[in-house]
Structure 1
Protein backbone atom coordinates (compact mmCIF):
# COMPACT_ATOMS: atom_id res chain seq x y z
CA UNK A 1 0.00 0.00 0.00
CA UNK A 2 1.21 3.55 -0.64
CA UNK A 3 2.56 5.53 2.25
CA UNK A 4 1.06 8.80 3.34
CA UNK A 5 2.02 11.40 5.91
CA UNK A 6 0.19 13.81 8.21
CA UNK A 7 1.01 16.55 10.66
CA UNK A 8 -1.18 16.60 13.76
CA UNK A 9 -1.24 19.47 16.23
CA UNK A 10 -2.54 18.41 19.64
CA UNK A 11 -3.67 20.92 22.28
CA UNK A 12 -4.84 20.58 25.87
CA UNK A 13 -2.91 19.09 28.79
CA UNK A 14 -0.30 17.47 26.56
CA UNK A 15 3.04 18.66 27.96
CA UNK A 16 4.60 17.31 31.12
CA UNK A 17 2.35 14.23 31.20
CA UNK A 18 4.38 11.72 29.14
CA UNK A 19 2.46 12.56 25.98
CA UNK A 20 5.39 12.39 23.55
CA UNK A 21 6.68 9.13 25.01
CA UNK A 22 3.24 7.50 24.91
CA UNK A 23 2.71 8.75 21.34
CA UNK A 24 6.07 7.26 20.38
CA UNK A 25 5.07 3.89 21.88
CA UNK A 26 1.70 3.96 20.10
CA UNK A 27 3.25 4.94 16.75
CA UNK A 28 5.96 2.29 17.01
CA UNK A 29 3.33 -0.34 17.74
CA UNK A 30 1.51 0.70 14.56
CA UNK A 31 4.68 0.63 12.45
CA UNK A 32 4.68 4.38 11.82
CA UNK A 33 7.68 6.66 11.44
CA UNK A 34 8.00 10.35 12.28
CA UNK A 35 8.28 12.26 15.53
CA UNK A 36 6.51 14.03 18.40
CA UNK A 37 7.70 17.48 19.44
CA UNK A 38 6.62 20.00 22.09
CA UNK A 39 5.62 23.37 20.68
CA UNK A 40 6.23 26.77 22.27
CA UNK A 41 2.46 27.41 22.38
CA UNK A 42 1.89 24.43 24.74
CA UNK A 43 0.80 21.97 22.07
CA UNK A 44 2.51 18.94 20.58
CA UNK A 45 3.30 18.43 16.90
CA UNK A 46 3.05 14.84 15.69
CA UNK A 47 4.39 13.89 12.26
CA UNK A 48 3.35 10.39 11.23
CA UNK A 49 4.28 8.52 8.05
CA UNK A 50 2.99 5.11 7.03
CA UNK A 51 -0.10 3.40 5.73
CA UNK A 52 -3.35 5.36 6.04
CA UNK A 53 -5.05 2.72 8.19
CA UNK A 54 -2.30 2.92 10.83
CA UNK A 55 -2.27 6.72 10.71
CA UNK A 56 -6.03 6.71 11.25
CA UNK A 57 -5.57 4.46 14.29
CA UNK A 58 -3.00 6.86 15.75
CA UNK A 59 -5.32 9.82 15.13
CA UNK A 60 -8.20 7.96 16.84
CA UNK A 61 -5.95 7.32 19.85
CA UNK A 62 -4.98 11.01 19.94
CA UNK A 63 -8.64 12.10 19.69
CA UNK A 64 -9.51 9.83 22.62
CA UNK A 65 -7.01 11.70 24.79
CA UNK A 66 -3.72 9.85 24.38
CA UNK A 67 -2.06 8.67 27.60
CA UNK A 68 -3.80 8.47 30.97
CA UNK A 69 -2.74 11.85 32.41
CA UNK A 70 -3.25 13.85 29.22
CA UNK A 71 -6.38 15.71 28.14
CA UNK A 72 -6.80 16.54 24.47
CA UNK A 73 -8.98 19.59 23.84
CA UNK A 74 -8.21 20.12 20.16
CA UNK A 75 -6.61 18.10 17.35
CA UNK A 76 -5.80 19.71 14.01
CA UNK A 77 -4.41 17.73 11.08
CA UNK A 78 -3.00 18.49 7.66
CA UNK A 79 -1.41 16.36 4.95
CA UNK A 80 2.35 16.40 4.59
CA UNK A 81 4.72 15.23 1.90
CA UNK A 82 5.96 11.73 2.68
CA UNK A 83 9.46 11.83 4.18
CA UNK A 84 11.82 9.09 5.28
CA UNK A 85 12.33 8.87 9.03
CA UNK A 86 14.28 6.27 10.96
CA UNK A 87 11.60 5.01 13.33
CA UNK A 88 9.45 7.32 15.44
CA UNK A 89 11.38 9.74 17.61
CA UNK A 90 10.92 12.40 20.23
CA UNK A 91 12.24 15.86 19.39
CA UNK A 92 13.34 18.23 22.11
Structure 2
Protein backbone atom coordinates (compact mmCIF):
# COMPACT_ATOMS: atom_id res chain seq x y z
CA UNK A 1 0.00 0.00 0.00
CA UNK A 2 1.33 3.42 -0.94
CA UNK A 3 2.23 5.66 1.96
CA UNK A 4 2.93 8.84 -0.01
CA UNK A 5 2.63 10.16 -3.54
CA UNK A 6 4.71 12.98 -5.01
CA UNK A 7 4.56 14.82 -8.31
CA UNK A 8 7.99 15.81 -9.61
CA UNK A 9 8.50 18.16 -12.52
CA UNK A 10 11.88 17.64 -14.16
CA UNK A 11 13.37 20.40 -16.33
CA UNK A 12 16.35 20.37 -18.67
CA UNK A 13 17.19 18.09 -21.59
CA UNK A 14 14.75 15.38 -20.54
CA UNK A 15 12.69 14.68 -23.66
CA UNK A 16 13.91 12.56 -26.56
CA UNK A 17 16.73 11.01 -24.50
CA UNK A 18 14.99 7.96 -22.98
CA UNK A 19 14.31 9.78 -19.73
CA UNK A 20 10.81 8.40 -19.11
CA UNK A 21 11.88 4.81 -19.76
CA UNK A 22 14.93 5.10 -17.52
CA UNK A 23 12.72 6.61 -14.83
CA UNK A 24 10.28 3.71 -15.23
CA UNK A 25 13.12 1.21 -14.80
CA UNK A 26 14.45 3.00 -11.70
CA UNK A 27 10.99 3.36 -10.16
CA UNK A 28 10.17 -0.31 -10.80
CA UNK A 29 13.44 -1.37 -9.13
CA UNK A 30 12.46 0.73 -6.12
CA UNK A 31 8.98 -0.82 -5.99
CA UNK A 32 7.12 2.40 -6.80
CA UNK A 33 3.89 2.91 -8.69
CA UNK A 34 2.88 5.91 -10.78
CA UNK A 35 3.91 7.25 -14.16
CA UNK A 36 6.23 9.47 -16.19
CA UNK A 37 5.01 11.61 -19.07
CA UNK A 38 6.27 14.41 -21.28
CA UNK A 39 4.68 17.83 -20.84
CA UNK A 40 4.18 20.42 -23.56
CA UNK A 41 6.72 22.81 -22.01
CA UNK A 42 9.58 20.31 -22.56
CA UNK A 43 9.63 19.01 -18.99
CA UNK A 44 8.72 15.56 -17.68
CA UNK A 45 6.13 14.93 -14.98
CA UNK A 46 6.89 12.01 -12.68
CA UNK A 47 4.25 10.77 -10.23
CA UNK A 48 5.74 8.34 -7.70
CA UNK A 49 3.85 6.48 -4.97
CA UNK A 50 5.30 4.22 -2.30
CA UNK A 51 7.02 4.48 1.05
CA UNK A 52 8.67 7.79 1.91
CA UNK A 53 12.10 6.16 1.58
CA UNK A 54 11.31 4.72 -1.87
CA UNK A 55 9.95 8.04 -3.13
CA UNK A 56 12.92 9.95 -1.69
CA UNK A 57 15.31 7.56 -3.45
CA UNK A 58 13.67 8.23 -6.82
CA UNK A 59 13.64 12.00 -6.24
CA UNK A 60 17.35 11.87 -5.34
CA UNK A 61 18.04 9.92 -8.54
CA UNK A 62 16.13 12.51 -10.57
CA UNK A 63 18.01 15.39 -8.92
CA UNK A 64 21.35 13.66 -9.63
CA UNK A 65 20.50 13.82 -13.34
CA UNK A 66 18.62 10.62 -14.12
CA UNK A 67 20.02 8.70 -17.10
CA UNK A 68 23.39 9.67 -18.57
CA UNK A 69 21.76 10.90 -21.80
CA UNK A 70 19.75 13.56 -19.93
CA UNK A 71 20.74 16.90 -18.46
CA UNK A 72 18.56 17.83 -15.51
CA UNK A 73 18.55 21.53 -14.62
CA UNK A 74 16.01 21.39 -11.78
CA UNK A 75 13.40 19.21 -10.12
CA UNK A 76 10.34 20.68 -8.43
CA UNK A 77 8.23 18.44 -6.21
CA UNK A 78 4.85 18.69 -4.56
CA UNK A 79 2.71 16.27 -2.57
CA UNK A 80 -0.02 14.49 -4.51
CA UNK A 81 -3.13 12.71 -3.32
CA UNK A 82 -2.61 8.93 -3.45
CA UNK A 83 -3.86 7.39 -6.66
CA UNK A 84 -4.67 3.88 -7.76
CA UNK A 85 -1.65 3.01 -9.89
CA UNK A 86 -1.09 -0.75 -10.41
CA UNK A 87 2.54 -0.28 -11.47
CA UNK A 88 4.87 2.39 -12.89
CA UNK A 89 4.14 3.28 -16.51
CA UNK A 90 5.30 5.58 -19.26
CA UNK A 91 2.44 7.71 -20.47
CA UNK A 92 2.29 9.26 -23.91
Runs of 4+ with >4 A deviation: none
Q: Tell me the TM-score normalised to structure 2 length.
A: 0.97
Q: What is the CA deviation profile of residues 30-84 of structure 1, one whole-angstrom value per residue up to 9, with x for unaligned ones?
A: 0000000000000000000000000000000000000011010010000001111
Q: Tell me the TM-score normalised to structure 1 length.
A: 0.97
Q: CA deviation at 1:2?
A: 6.1
Distance 1:21 1:40 in 2: 18
**5+ unaligned residues in a row in structure 2: which ranges?**
none
Distance 1:54 1:91 in 2: 21
How many residues matched? 92
Paired residue for 1:6? Answer: 6
Distance 2:75 2:63 in 1: 7
State the secondary structure of the residue aligned to 1:10: strand
Paired residue for 1:29? Answer: 29
RMSD between aligned alpha carbons?
A: 1.1
Paired residue for 1:65? Answer: 65
Paired residue for 1:75? Answer: 75
Distance 1:20 1:2 in 2: 21
Q: Is the 8 A contact 2:2 2:49 kept in 1?
A: no
